[in-house]
Amino acid sequence: MVMFYRVLVGLLLICVYSVHANASVEFHHIDWEIVCDNTLTCRVAGLGEEVDKTDSHISILLERKAGANQPIIGGYVKLASSKNDEDIRERRKPQNYPLSLIINNVSLGKLTEKPNSIYQLTPHQLKALLETLKTKNNKIIFVQTDNDRVWRIYERGYNAVMLKMDEVQGRIGTIGAIIKPGKKNENYVNKPIPAPVIKKAPVLKTGDGKKITLEEVISIFPDFKSRYIDDPKGYCSYDLDEPDEQDEMYNPSFYLYKLDKNNDLLQASCSMGYVLTDAHWIIPKKKNKVKKIKFVTVKEFPVYRDGVIKTNRRMREILSGCWEYEEFTWNGQEFVLSSIMVTGVSCDSKYYGAYQIWKLPIWVTQVK
């Protein structure tokens, strides 16, 4: 069960997910955001912009695990165009030319090129960048000399976000703190929380589900109509008793997946329009006993495959640039929440549209 809290204090937006006994934290200030998952691993993302205002952005991703003697790692850099028009986006898409870091007019050399159009700072570059970001009035730029394009990263919000990392990981006042170091050794910092273990059960790999009629659904799930409309966990809006004979696309569709030898998975579409949602139920195959049909979830844009339901949804407003991705894994009895990831700072800042640069874990598990 995931409980989601948001508290707005001044200009600072804190999003707190509480999953079971472990808390995950998202904290956003100006150009920087931190997401700490339920193991207390924290990832920090900062967004910058192209100097000539061509709607191209740059983002840096940092990571620090909980526990003593854990360094900041990563230093991954990615470029992205935020234009909504696909033709413009493609024309302005940053090319994979070598990328160099320049701090206060001093070149620190080229970044390492990685797969998937990602660059990575060298250890020397990462150390210099982290120290520079803590102070004001610095000029941090990334340059592609092959095509004369320049991006700039600012320190605005960096200290607040890194202080949140120190707080979450219990580093304030220790020698390993980033913003408020002290004399205490790192034996005082918070230990990492073990990720929950999920034992994935075997499933029948039968490909796509079988499309079935409402009558077939009711034959295996007699209470379907009342559960479909009235289940407090759902928000299904189709009228099952008066289908639209003029346009079939505005009627619900139903698919039955062979989950395992004892259970099937029913998927029923819930609403139409901009947001597409589906409801899921686990349907036992037993014929001689009363079927204990289990409701799974109602989620947006769900995809079931090989024992995992994957979903994604826009966070906050419909036109927001922020997305949340969830996965539910079959353990033989139920679908268990196994992953939550969110995108970066773009939906609350001037970088609206530069979305989906990173997927930052909020809830992680070990699936075995």
pLDDT tens digits along 170-209: 999 999 999 999 999 998 899 999 999 999 999 998 778 8
The answer to whether the beta carbons of residues 361 and 340 sit under 8 Å apart is yes
Per domain, the residue ranges of the chain are: 2-197, 202-298
- Write the pLDDT tens digit of every residue in 15-40: 333 333 346 788 888 889 999 999 99
CA angle 54, 350, 165 (to 5 degrees): 120
Give the pair of three-digit tokens for residue 299.
């989620």
Looking at per-residue pLDDT, the higher value among 277 and 159 belongs to: 159
Across the range 261-271, mean pLDDT stands at 89
Looking at per-residue pLDDT, the higher value among 90 and 278 belongs to: 278
Long-range CB contacts for residues 219-226, cutoff 8 Å, separation at least 24: 220/256, 220/264, 220/266, 220/283, 220/291, 221/266, 221/281, 221/283, 221/291, 221/293, 223/293, 224/268
Across the range 338-345, mean pLDDT stands at 84
**How long, in residues, is the chain?**
368
Looking at residue 16, its pLDDT comes to 33
Looking at residue 8, its pLDDT comes to 27
In this prediction, what percent of the chain has a pLDDT beyond 70? 78
Looking at residue 291, its pLDDT comes to 72
Looking at residue 119, its pLDDT comes to 95
Residue 125 CB neighbour total at 10 angstroms: 20
Looking at residue 350, its pLDDT comes to 58
- Write the pLDDT tens digit of every residue in 108-146: 999 999 988 899 999 999 999 999 999 998 999 999 988
- Write the pLDDT tens digit of every residue in 67-110: 999 999 999 999 877 655 454 455 555 667 899 999 999 999 99
Over its C-alpha atoms, the chain yields an Rg (Å, rounded) of 24
Give the pair of three-digit tokens for residue 134.
């803590």
CA distance 354 to 230: 38
pTM: 0.83
